[in-house]
Amino acid sequence: MTSVTIIDYGMGNLRSVQKAFERIGQSAHVTSDVAEIAAAERLVLPGVGAFRDAISAIRRNDLTGVIRDYIAADRPFLGICLGMQLLLDASFEDGEHEGLGVIPGTVQRFDLSSEFKIPHMGWNQLTLEGNSQHGLLRELGTEPWFYFVHSYHVVPGDKSWIAATTDYGRPFVSVVAKSNVMATQFHPEKSQSSGMQLLRNFVSIGESAVCSAR
């Protein structure tokens, strides 16, 4: 069985993500150790809270370089919720803050009419887009439901990253996937059967699956 490593940078619902992997029969290790993160077979960056606090914590724990190097080494990586947003160039949450710069683009607040509450919270559906053939989304059906809690959303500068969108007043990007890098705006660990299938897909992605999705 391959191993899953969950990054602990002092923020995020780490135990619930770990328990979700355990529910599908996959062991998962939570760590902030740079050497363990560098040696991971599959790496997960979860997150809840404010972008500024999260990126500051990542830098304070000297994790920026190891995350970027891991991704550059073409090994499977999954960002969840805030962990997805941190991959972008910058966020405009409470000012402008530089992200990890893995995915070109920015993180922006929802700009919606008053009939739509912010944060966007609850169950919503995915609409599969151009990069939806990525292995992360297999066996989910055409419009699966997932659980969201967020006030900001990613706006990739390169549309080839977009694997799925979700409608909330207008469409926003809810899944990005390219090669070994995958990320979701929703919480798969809170999304029942669809979430568990997505985590199984992530665990099953190996070198051949990653290469075929490029």
Sequence-separated (6 or more) residues with CB below 8 Å from residue 59: none
Helix 51-60 with 64-72: angle, nearest 10 deg = 90
Given a cut of 50, whether residue 210 has pLDDT beyond it is no
- Regarding pTM above 0.75, the answer is yes
Query: What is the Cα–Cα distance from 119 to 69, expressed in whole angstroms?
Result: 33
- Paired tokens of 47: 């997150």
What tens digit of pLDDT does each residue of 141-163 get? 888 999 999 999 999 999 999 99
pLDDT at residue 142, as a whole number:
81
Query: Strands 127-128 and 162-168: what pairing?
Result: antiparallel
Query: What is the Cα–Cα distance from 106 to 24, expressed in whole angstroms?
Result: 33
Query: DSSP per residue over 33-97, as a string?
Result: -HHHHHT-SEEEE---S-HHHHHHHHHHTT-HHHHHHHHHTT--EEEETHHHHTTEEEE-TTS-E
Q: Which domains does the chain have, with CATH numbers?
A: 4-212 (3.40.50.880)
| 62, burial (CB in 10 Å: exposed 0-12, middle 13-18, buried 19+) | exposed
Could you list the active site residues? 81, 187, 189
Given a cut of 90, whether residue 84 has pLDDT beyond it is yes
By percentage, how much of the chain surpasses pLDDT 70? 94
Q: Does the CA dihedral 156-58-209-146 come out positive or negative?
A: negative
Query: What is the Cα–Cα distance from 187 to 170, expressed in whole angstroms?
Result: 20
What tens digit of pLDDT does each residue of 20-55 get? 999 999 999 999 999 999 999 999 999 999 999 999
CA separation (Å) from 77 to 67, 80, 112, 121?
A: 9, 10, 31, 25
